[in-house]
């Protein structure tokens, strides 16, 4: 099983999800407020853990809007598995 889900984002940062914490998560809260710049969310549930509905190249070009909802909802309601690193200029 994949243990880490990681992808780069437009601003130069990245999103990482520690999937080892996700199987036991009862809320899957990261999924519900994920808003992509496209017509569907970035994060989808697959086999009980988050997965990506876009390719890495699309995510890096802005499909992930860097809204931080997945990180905040996971911190509040999930198992604290999401870390979003943003670059500071």
3-state secondary structure the chain: CCCEEEEECCCCCEEEEEHHHCCCCCCCHHHHCCCECCCCCCEEEECCEEEECCCHHHHHHHHECCCCHHHHHHHHHCCCCEEEECCCC
67 binds ligand SF4 (CB under 6 A): yes
User: Of residues 42, 47, 57, 86, which one binds ligand SF4 by CB under 6 A?
Assistant: 42
User: Of residues 8, 10, 21, 47, which one binds ligand SF4 by CB under 6 A?
Assistant: 21
Q: Which residue is nearest to ligand SF4, using beta carbons?
A: 78
Q: Which residues bind ligand SF4 (CB under 6 A)?
A: 15, 17, 21-22, 25, 27-30, 34-36, 42-43, 50, 64-70, 74, 78-79, 81-82
């Amino acid at each position: 099983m994949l243990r880490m889900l990681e992808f780069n984002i437009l601003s130069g940062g990245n999103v990482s999800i520690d999937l080892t914490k996700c199987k036991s998560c009862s809320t899957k809260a990261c999924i519900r407020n994920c808003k992509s710049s496209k017509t569907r969310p970035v994060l989808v549930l697959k086999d009980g853990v988050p997965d990506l509905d876009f390719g890495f190249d699309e995510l890096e070009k802005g499909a992930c809007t860097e809204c931080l909802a997945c990180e905040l909802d996971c911190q509040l309601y999930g198992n604290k598995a999401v870390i979003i690193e943003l670059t500071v200029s």
